[in-house]
Structure 1
Amino acid sequence: MVSAAPATADFATWFAERARVNDQRVEPIPFADLDGWEFDGETGDLRHRTGRFFSVRGLRVRPGGDGGVPERWQPIIHQPEIGVLGILARMFDGVRHFLLQAKAEPGNVDGVQLSPTVQATRSNYTRVHRGGSVRYLEYFTDRRGRVLVDVLQSEQGAWFLHKRNRNMIVEVDEEVPVHDDFRWLTLEEIRALLHRDNLVNMDARTVLSCLPRADTEAGAADGTGPAWAASTAALGPRQGALHSMTELSSWFTDAKTRCELTADPVSLTSIPGWRRTPTEIAAEDGGRFRIVAVDVSAPHREVPHWTQPMLAPCSRGLAALLYRAIGGVPHFLVQAHAQEGCLDRLEIGPTVHCVPDEHRGRPPEERPPYLDVLDALAPERIRYDRILSEEGGRFLAAENRYVIAELDEGFPARVPAGYCWVTLGQLKELLRHSHYVDIEARTLVACAEALR
């Protein structure tokens, strides 16, 4: 049965109405006012009374190696459950559409953002919170359709300990009842929305980045943009890539073998340099983030009212991909990026991933590699530059500036050992597997595919 494509011209009207209807109130509260959460009397860890959802623990990080970098300590969110990030797909008039949700999360900048069809932790969809059921969950748990994507992917390794979610896209042929908060959108439309700040949420970005190359091209009205056509197709030297997939895998395996970073969970009370007040857990020197508590009223959520701890960054981050043509094919410069919370210690990350405020005024040798290169680029070299929110269920107003910038062809092709030139096609190939490409690089893959 062929169905007519959904009308999409009134997206702005629909989204504004959903933002109005799904209005929420988020207010800071003292830890003592948390309902169902408590500090463990022995370890000081902040836990939910059910033992589910997540906890805030301490972490001891030892970088290792001979760089003289001292060990450091920090809180970290421990959420061992594997949640579902699922997007439902369906063909209308020969064009694939994706069912996205206008969803409010307590940490979202601007409140409501476009999220996957299903965005739920295991505690949520098993209804530990005693709230309502998760709409459309059965399409992913029962596999009611053709699976296009099904892969475990990591989340922020600086803030989560070993956190993974199941990224899924399932395509169906049957009629799907569409709730008012949900809307069918084409890949081309979603890519256009990625050019707006804080609109397409982190979970939707990571799932869409995992869409295989063939399905990406089939789902868009005009396929991959011409700027990336060669980069998307190039998987090895014969297709125009500088390195073969085997060479790329060997580079990454070598980086993991050489990585000496260790991160050990410890009690929250034992981490030096951090203090706990009635309203926050914060580093004595200011640090990168704080742990706070909030009270949330969201009448249209499965649970209309709750309290929870959240991680609140102190400054906006930066994630940037630099690229240049090599042999006529665009190549991205990526790094083997070690993060304390990664399950396998490091993953492939953007050229630059840092918090710029932490490096202002420092001498060049103390600044992240390639940050000064990015800062020196002429404005016309910047191909993508947007502020996008990170996960709003655990992080309060967390944003990164995401940048894709073009280097000139005279930029040296020789790079330090921890860096490698890869094509978009190679990144897409790695995204078929777990624990290769980190969350920030996955967002940048989705953004690169949105460029024309």
Structure 2
Amino acid sequence: MVIKNVNLAFLKSALDKTEVNSALEWINNQNKAVNVSVKKVDFEKLEKWKFDQKKGCIGHDTGSFFSIDGIRVNTTLGKVGQWDQPIINQPEVGFLGFLVKEINGVLHFLVQAKIEPGNVNFVQLSPTLQATRSNFQQAHNGKQPKYLEYFKNATEETVLIDQLQSEQGARFLKKRNRNIIISANDNIEVYENFTWLTLGQLKSLMQVDNIVNMDTRTVLSGILYGNYNKKAINFSSVFTPQETYKSMLLKSALSSEGCFNSLNRIFSFITDLKSNNDLLVKKIPLNVLKDWIVTKDEIYHKDNDYFKIIGVEVEISNREVLNWYQPMVEPAQEGLCAFVCKNINGLLHFAVQAKLECGNHDIFEFAPTVQTLTGSYKKTPKDSLPFLEYVLSAKKEQIVYDTIQSEEGGRFFKEQNRNILIIADDDLPQELPENFIWMTLNQINNLTQYNNYINIQARNLIASIPFV
């Protein structure tokens, strides 16, 4: 199926107001139909995994999938110039992909009810295809993922989005996945745990805690809705006659005029930071990590902060492999990701920070206004982190999005973070702290078209923004 105006097709799907109760009922029924068991076990009981004392890492017998390595980080930025930590090393690029097709004139996405061992509520909505290279090359000796052939055989005419996007820079070492959306033919078979939903339905479901998984959100964040001038944007009043926060967000997503900073200025801003700061990451054995304690069943920080490495035994009845073992990252606390927005010259702008994380490919990526994943924001002195106090003390009427969303359940054990979008009062200063810059939603969306500019926490938030 060839889609002539891709951006407009995505926009029409995002503005779809179809109800989601039937989707929630379908998810609930999928949960009831699958048997799931996830148990913590000692590292020595992880079948096909071993704690390699010589290399100082936890790896799979095949050398595939991923490993848990130790690293020592040195940087010129911030108050802490050096630290040690465990990190997930998964150099292979996996597929995160959607099949889409028009149904009754509206673009629909083929979503999967997928269970990951780390999901807090088992079933969450995932992309059509969510698979590491080891998975689709069947290194686990299991079945091949459904619909893989559509993505392997995609043509230029059917590919609507194709990007390499980063994963969590504080937990993964330079990890990226291929985020791809392709158009499908009309006679595609829909398997039992798959269904079609519009982009509007998916955005509505993102307003509910822990329903749409991280991989779905990151793929959808790469969608462009088009660039329009001020006259053309007047058509949006057809959908939202009165100005609401949703119409303001839609205008910010569509406008190519009135931006406080040009894209050239934004590129120069982050290039300057990359040029004037250093990040050196060196692999070291897990058992020599400073301030980390290795036991038979955990690797944890001496202060019980940040996260720990654990081992699990997994049984899931509808996966390509029904039973397996693996190490996972378990967080020490709930995190907070928040964007603060301000109306500047009649256009909603987002306060975006350039954030250094040890696993980043290129030192800095653009992140939400507030991002606290590796430490407890509830214990953080409010005056030590820009905008933290503003976010935590925001008035109810300023908060337009506030949900708990899961991180990727294949590697993270029951990790969920509070995601917030705040529209600031007029009294919020236009001047920003160091390493922060104003962007429209349209500019953020355009930056997702480039590799390693918008981090996954920011992408997850912008994917969740509703327009209707």
Please confirm whether the aligned pair reaches a TM-score higher than 0.5, indicating the same fold: yes
In 2, Cα distance between equivalents of 1:56 and 1:426? 36
Q: Where does 1:371-382 land on structure 2 (aligned, <5 Å)?
A: 371-382=388-399
CA deviation string 1:255-311 (max 9, x = no partner): 221222322222222212111111111111112100000000112100000010000
In 2, Cα distance between equivalents of 1:372 and 1:60? 31
How far the C-alpha of 1:12 sits from its partner, in A, is 2.8
| Equivalent residues of 2:99, 2:128 under 8 A apart | yes
SS in 2 for 1:247: helix
Q: Where does 1:33-432 land on structure 2 (aligned, <5 Å)?
A: 33-65=45-77, 68-143=79-154, 146-214=158-226, 225-235=246-256, 239-355=257-373, 358-360=376-378, 363-365=381-383, 367-432=384-449
In 1, Cα distance between equivalents of 2:182 and 2:79? 48
What amino acid is aligned across from residue 187 of structure 1 in structure 2?
L
Change (3 A) 1:45 1:370: same
In 2, Cα distance between equivalents of 1:23 and 1:403? 33
Aligned residues: 440
In 2, Cα distance between equivalents of 1:362 and 1:276? 26
In 2, Cα distance between equivalents of 1:70 and 1:233? 41
How far the C-alpha of 1:356 sits from its partner, in A, is 9.0
| Equivalent residues of 1:64, 1:262 under 8 A apart | no
SS in 1 for 2:32: helix
**Gaps in structure 1 of 5+ consecutive residues:** none
How far the C-alpha of 1:427 sits from its partner, in A, is 0.5
Change (3 A) 1:245 1:32: same
SS in 2 for 1:358: coil
| Equivalent residues of 1:23, 1:111 under 8 A apart | no
CA deviation string 1:198-246 (max 9, x = no partner): 000000000001012149x9xxx969941223211334xxx11101111
| Equivalent residues of 1:43, 1:269 under 8 A apart | no
How far the C-alpha of 1:7 sits from its partner, in A, is 11
In 2, Cα distance between equivalents of 1:61 and 1:244? 33
What amino acid is aligned across from residue 293 of structure 1 in structure 2?
G
Change (3 A) 1:182 1:269: same
| Equivalent residues of 2:307, 2:374 under 8 A apart | no
In 2, Cα distance between equivalents of 1:166 and 1:375? 35
Change (3 A) 1:60 1:382: same
| Equivalent residues of 1:91, 1:173 under 8 A apart | no
| Equivalent residues of 2:70, 2:86 under 8 A apart | yes
In 2, Cα distance between equivalents of 1:119 and 1:362? 35
In 1, Cα distance between equivalents of 2:176 and 2:253? 26
| Equivalent residues of 2:38, 2:117 under 8 A apart | yes
- Percent same amino acid at aligned positions? 39
Q: Which deviates more, 162-171 or 254-263? A: 254-263
| Equivalent residues of 1:259, 1:338 under 8 A apart | no
SS in 1 for 2:64: coil
Q: Which deviates more, 262-271 or 108-117? A: 262-271
What amino acid is aligned across from residue 163 of structure 1 in structure 2?
K
In 1, Cα distance between equivalents of 2:19 and 2:258? 40
In 2, Cα distance between equivalents of 1:230 and 1:86? 28
In 2, Cα distance between equivalents of 1:362 and 1:123? 39
SS in 1 for 2:464: helix
Q: Which deviates more, 115-124 or 13-22? A: 13-22
What amino acid is aligned across from residue 45 of structure 1 in structure 2?
C
In 2, Cα distance between equivalents of 1:16 and 1:433? 37
CA deviation string 1:411-436 (max 9, x = no partner): 11111230000000001110111100
How far the C-alpha of 1:317 sits from its partner, in A, is 0.5
What amino acid is aligned across from residue 440 of structure 1 in structure 2?
Q
| Equivalent residues of 2:310, 2:330 under 8 A apart | yes
| Equivalent residues of 2:90, 2:172 under 8 A apart | yes
In 1, Cα distance between equivalents of 2:24 and 2:262? 44
Q: What is the CA RMSD across the aligned residues, in angstroms?
A: 2.3
Q: Tell me what 2:452 maps to.
A: 435
Change (3 A) 1:132 1:233: same
What amino acid is aligned across from residue 283 of structure 1 in structure 2?
H
CA deviation string 1:78-125 (max 9, x = no partner): 000000000110001110000000000000110010000000000000
CA deviation string 1:325-358 (max 9, x = no partner): 0001000000001000011111000000014963
**Gaps in structure 2 of 5+ consecutive residues:** 3-15, 228-232
| Equivalent residues of 1:288, 1:313 under 8 A apart | yes
CA deviation string 1:55-95 (max 9, x = no partner): 00001111225x55241100000000000000110001110
In 2, Cα distance between equivalents of 1:339 and 1:190? 30
In 1, Cα distance between equivalents of 2:389 and 2:297? 37
In 1, Cα distance between equivalents of 2:74 and 2:56? 22
How far the C-alpha of 1:369 sits from its partner, in A, is 0.9
What amino acid is aligned across from residue 279 of structure 1 in structure 2?
D
